[in-house]
């Protein structure tokens, strides 16, 4: 444990070294440092992974950061203002957030289904192989971009792999992204600090349980929202802005396939800023051409190149074309008949009701009302139209409307009907959009209200209004602070028996195991994914019930391939009939030869315990 703490501290010191350098060399606003740094790490490691150099790149990035920290100490000794300039509200939030996640997640384990089916699986496999997945991978969702997994890989490679370390790694990323929402805050503007904290807390509580998973849906909202804020902050230094946005936009694309939607809307925003920049600075000739070239290369060409590199990698690494993605957008999936079919009409109704009933959509409407109220109040008091806030209201509501339409197309054409009819993933998809929209809108409200030199009572009311948005989701605080263990006991029960067998028989990954956890019902392959994650192979055959001849035949077929049988709890009548062994089978482990249970394995530490 002490070595983990030491390496975690050194990693943070390395991050600090980069932060000091970016501030001293490029005068980068501290609120933008974490997102620029973390995005750059992901892009560099992704490219390094393509050429099989990801592990050396991890240690090179780490070592350079430590050297920059030593250099930074020298700089701060010469100019103490550098330390003061770094210690902004965003920096304090990042430090506090990192400490909070490290403490909260120190004993957390993986439980959530999607961790075992993909997001935790890819991290563990990358750590085992020290490479991006290739043809030998056990990952089945091979077209899912690896952006956040790469960052988590960076963290756990340095501090040592454990499930809690992986979750803390993602927590560090979340803290860094949320600190960007303090970009218009300073210690001289207490309203902005307090309101920005409310915004960050709100965005975290959109799904409090998310911190115990490695799912990317909330992060998919954080990154593009933060990108828009950084872009606006540097709108009058356009060339610098495009350089800073290049890794961030690349990270958006490398986070999730639907990140391209968010990237496209970021691009619309950035085109508007570019046109405004050229107009306000009256650029002509070579200067105008230079601005457009910077925009084309850094905001369009390089992020799109990252997408093509990932697509080319999937083809080269394991012959997985884009079309093999279960939600891939290809011409063959679209049929106009679906619009007029009963299914199409049903989906309009179901999705419409889901959107109308969504708490996040209600909060989005309330945020827009607050923004519109702020626009007219500022007009009345300050005799000006807050154009940026006005355009932000139009922009985020247009995005929300188009995103809803795209969700309809997703369910109608790209998702299996049995999943679509139940609106699978709707809550997570809507969370990404809500975070992107509300995160952007609320921060621009804060910026505009902060510009008012007087009217402290108005600022208090506005901060309270933003804080009140927390009330409808206050229940998420408990989900954030306490990990739900509903399925954790099932996983731990299975692993307890498996690890005892592993210890008793010294089994290898090549040994095939049939594992029975008689729940009496389906578990949607949860146990199957758990064991694939645990063993990093497909040599475990799992059963949670057996109530048909078909399942009986499958169980006996898998037993014939197996070297061992593991039974995690005493089994019921149906399962006993399916096994059909002359030997009494109860909780424990057994050797299997040619489908026949031959003998019971003596397991350590009380394997006879009844359950």
Render pLDDT for 470-509 as a digit per residue (tens, 0 to 9).
999 999 999 999 998 877 788 999 999 999 999 999 888 8
Per-residue pLDDT at 80? 87
Per-residue pLDDT at 609? 41
- Please compute, for residue 607, the number of CA atoms within 13 A of its CA located in the half-sphere on the CB side: 23
- Burial class of residue 51, CB neighbours in 10 A (0-12, 13-18, 19+): exposed
Query: Which strands form 596-601's sheet, in the order they lie side by side?
Result: 540-543, 513-516, 564-567, 588-593, 596-601
Average pLDDT over residues 537-556: 93
Per-residue pLDDT at 116? 94
Residue labelled with tokens 């828009």? 228
Mean pLDDT, the chain, integer: 92
Joined tokens for residue 107: 């004993």
The span from the CA of 563 to the CA of 471, in Å, is: 55
Mind listing the pLDDT tens digit for each residue in 402-457?
999 999 888 888 787 888 888 888 999 999 999 999 999 999 999 999 998 788 88
Mind listing the pLDDT tens digit for each residue in 43-76?
999 999 999 999 999 999 999 999 999 999 999 9
Asked if residue 97 lies in contact with residue 179, where contact means CB atoms within 8 angstroms, the answer is yes
Residue 431's alpha-carbon distances to 77, 220, 347, 435, in angstroms, are: 45, 9, 20, 6
Per-residue pLDDT at 554? 94
- Please compute, for residue 180, the number of CA atoms within 13 A of its CA located in the half-sphere on the CB side: 32
Helix (H) or strand (E) holding 90: helix 89-104
Joined tokens for residue 376: 């007219």
Return the sign of the alpha-carbon dihedral for residues 41, 42, 43, 46.
positive
The span from the CA of 153 to the CA of 102, in Å, is: 16
Confidence of residue 591 (pLDDT cuts 50, 70, 90): very high
Q: Of 330, 274, 275, 317, whose CA–CA distance to 299 is shortest?
A: 274
Per-residue pLDDT at 509? 85
Helix (H) or strand (E) holding 600: strand 596-601
Helix (H, G, I), strand (E, B) or coil at 593: strand
Our measurement of the distance from residue 220's CA atom to the centroid of its chain's CA atoms, rounded to an integer in Å, reads: 6
Residue 100's alpha-carbon distances to 93, 154, 172, 256, 544, in angstroms, are: 10, 20, 10, 26, 38
Residue labelled with tokens 């996983």? 491
The span from the CA of 571 to the CA of 611, in Å, is: 10
Residues 284-293 as b or e (16 or more Cβ within 10 Å = b)? eeeeeeebee
Joined tokens for residue 139: 């990952």
Q: Say if strands 596-601 and 540-543 run parallel, antiparallel, or are unpaired.
A: unpaired
Q: Where are the alpha helices (DSSP H) in 506-572?
A: 526-535, 549-561
The span from the CA of 429 to the CA of 259, in Å, is: 11
The span from the CA of 411 to the CA of 327, in Å, is: 9
What is the DSSP annotation of 541-554? EEES---SHHHHHH
Chain length of the chain: 611
Which pTM does this prediction carry?
A: 0.94
What is the DSSP annotation of 238-278? HHHHHHHHHHHHHHHHHH-TTHHHHHHHHHHHHHHHHHHHH
Confidence of residue 335 (pLDDT cuts 50, 70, 90): low
Residues 371-387 as b or e (16 or more Cβ within 10 Å = b)? beebbebbeeeeeeebe
Residue 376's alpha-carbon distances to 372, 386, 388, 456, 486, in angstroms, are: 7, 9, 13, 17, 49
Q: Where are the alpha helices (DSSP H) in 319-341?
A: 337-340
Q: Say if strands 540-543 and 513-516 run parallel, antiparallel, or are unpaired.
A: parallel
The span from the CA of 159 to the CA of 522, in Å, is: 37
Confidence of residue 317 (pLDDT cuts 50, 70, 90): confident
The pLDDT of residue 328 is above 70? no
Asked if residue 16 lies in contact with residue 129, where contact means CB atoms within 8 angstroms, the answer is no
Mind listing the pLDDT tens digit for each residue in 112-161?
999 999 999 999 999 999 999 988 888 888 889 999 999 999 999 999 99
Widest CA span in the chain: 89
The span from the CA of 273 to the CA of 294, in Å, is: 13
- Please compute, for residue 35, the number of CA atoms within 13 A of its CA located in the half-sphere on the CB side: 34
The pLDDT of residue 608 is above 60? no
The span from the CA of 398 to the CA of 394, in Å, is: 6
The pLDDT of residue 533 is above 60? yes
Per-residue pLDDT at 259? 94
Asked if residue 566 lies in contact with residue 515, where contact means CB atoms within 8 angstroms, the answer is yes
Per-residue pLDDT at 104? 97
Please enumerate in sequence order all residues whose Cβ is within 8 A of that of 610, keeping only pairs 6 or more positions apart, or say none: 570, 587
Per-residue pLDDT at 269? 96
What is the DSSP annotation of 344-404? HHHHHHHHHHHHHH-HHHHHHHHHHHHHHHHHHHHHHHHSS--HHHHHHHHHHHHHHHHHH
């Amino acid at each position: 444990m002490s070595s983990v703490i030491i390496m975690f501290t050194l990693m943070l010191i390395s991050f600090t070294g980069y932060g000091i350098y970016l501030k001293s060399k490029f005068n980068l606003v501290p609120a933008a440092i974490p997102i620029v740094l973390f995005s750059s790490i992901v892009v560099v490691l992704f490219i390094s992974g393509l050429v099989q150099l990801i592990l050396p790149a991890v240690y090179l990035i780490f070592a350079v950061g430590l050297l920059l920290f030593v250099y930074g100490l020298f700089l701060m000794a010469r100019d103490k203002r550098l330390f003061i300039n770094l210690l902004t509200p965003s920096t304090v939030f990042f430090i506090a957030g990192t400490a909070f996640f490290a403490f909260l997640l120190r004993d957390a384990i993986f439980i959530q289904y999607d961790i075992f089916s993909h997001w935790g699986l890819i991290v563990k496999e990358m750590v085992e192989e020290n490479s991006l997945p290739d043809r030998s991978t056990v990952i089945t969702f091979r077209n899912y971009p690896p952006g956040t997994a790469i960052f988590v890989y960076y963290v756990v490679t340095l501090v040592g792999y454990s499930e809690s370390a992986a979750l803390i790694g993602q927590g560090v990323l979340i803290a860094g992204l949320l600190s960007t929402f303090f970009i218009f805050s300073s210690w001289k503007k207490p309203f902005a600090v307090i309101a920005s904290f409310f915004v960050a807390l709100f965005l975290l509580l959109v799904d409090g349980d998310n911190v115990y998973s490695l799912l990317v849906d909330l992060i998919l909202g954080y990154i593009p929202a933060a990108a828009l804020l950084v872009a606006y902050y540097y709108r009058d230094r356009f060339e610098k802005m495009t350089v800073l946005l290049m890794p961030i936009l690349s990270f958006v694309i490398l986070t999730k396939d639907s990140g391209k939607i968010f990237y496209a809307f970021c691009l619309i925003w950035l085109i508007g800023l570019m046109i405004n920049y050229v107009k306000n600075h009256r650029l002509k000739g070579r200067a105008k051409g230079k601005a457009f070239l910077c925009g084309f290369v850094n905001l369009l060409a390089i992020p799109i190149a990252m997408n093509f590199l990932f697509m080319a990698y999937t083809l080269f690494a394991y012959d997985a074309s884009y079309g093999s993605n279960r939600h891939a957008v290809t011409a063959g999936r679209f049929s106009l008949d679906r619009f007029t079919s009963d299914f199409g009409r049903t989906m309009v109704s179901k999705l419409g009701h889901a959107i109308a009933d969504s708490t996040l959509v209600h909060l989005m409407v309330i945020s827009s009302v607050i923004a519109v109220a702020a626009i007219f109040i500022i007009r009345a008091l300050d005799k000006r139209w807050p154009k940026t806030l006005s355009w932000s209201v139009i922009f985020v509501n247009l995005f929300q409307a188009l995103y809803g339409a795209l969700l309809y197309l997703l369910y109608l054409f790209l998702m299996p009907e049995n999943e679509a009819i139940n609106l699978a993933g709707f809550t997570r998809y809507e969370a990404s959009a809500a975070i992107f929209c509300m995160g952007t809108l609320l921060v621009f409200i804060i910026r505009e209200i902060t510009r008012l030199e007087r009217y402290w009572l108005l600022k208090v009311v506005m901060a309270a209004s933003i804080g009140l948005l927390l009330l409808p989701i206050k229940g998420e605080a408990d989900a954030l602070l306490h990990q739900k263990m509903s399925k954790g006991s099932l996983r731990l029960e299975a692993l307890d028996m498996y690890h005892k067998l592993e210890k008793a028989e010294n089994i290898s990954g090549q040994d095939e195991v049939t594992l029975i956890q008689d729940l009496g019902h389906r578990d949607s392959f949860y146990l199957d994914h758990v064991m694939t994650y645990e063993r990093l192979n497909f040599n475990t055959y799992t059963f949670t019930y057996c109530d048909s001849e078909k399942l009986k035949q499958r169980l006996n077929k898998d037993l014939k391939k197996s070297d061992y049988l593991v039974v995690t709890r005493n089994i019921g009548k149906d399962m006993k009939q399916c096994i059909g062994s002359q030997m009494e089978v109860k909780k424990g482990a057994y050797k299997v030869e040619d489908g026949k249970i031959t003998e019971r394995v003596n397991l350590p530490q009380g394997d006879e315990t009844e359950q």
